[in-house]
Structure 1
């Protein structure tokens, strides 16, 4: 049984880093999804592909996978660098501005 361990990226609708600090163990689908001819829904016989386990640390997720005989691959997250300006938000309203207001 194969699984992947990753740290989720932030949602496009959020500006903060909420729900991105946990690690997720997700099973890889062992069979392809099929379209049901009557209803048109996609389905699969593999129920493990619906399971997502959340862990506090990467080491805990790896320990769980090793203890249960799961072959896991780890995908490291791409961290964003901080966007820090010297004046911060108050720089937009500075009274000592040298140039003309451009925006």
Structure 2
């Protein structure tokens, strides 16, 4: 069962950085979603998609994946780029 390990991104709708230091282990879907015949909702019998594990650091997540034989792919966090701009630049 393949999985991915990544660091939670900052919420674009808020200025806070809560829970951005957590690392998350998500499982990849093992089967495609299909519409339910009665209601038409998309669903599958794969229960691993509902599991999302959080860890304090990447090493802990990788150790968990190695311990339980999970094929995990680590997605590195891109560096933060700050756009420093003076207020006076708005009037040039």
Residues 1-103 of structure 1 aligned to structure 2 (within 5 Å) = 1-84=1-84, 102=91
Q: Normalization by structure 2: what TM-score?
A: 0.87
1:82 offset after TM fit, Å? 3.5
- Coordinate RMSD, CA, aligned: 2.1
What SS does structure 1 have at the residue aligned with 2:30? coil
Q: Normalization by structure 1: what TM-score?
A: 0.78
Structure 2 unaligned regions, length at least 5: none
Residues paired across the two proteins, number: 91
Runs of 4+ residues deviating >4 angstroms = none
What do residues 11-69 of structure 1 show as CA deviations (whole Å, max 9, x unaligned)? Answer: 12111322211000000000000110211111111000110000000000000000001
Distance 2:82 2:12 in 1: 18
User: Whose Rg is larger?
Assistant: 1
Structure 1 unaligned regions, length at least 5: 86-90
What SS does structure 2 have at the residue aligned with 1:54? strand
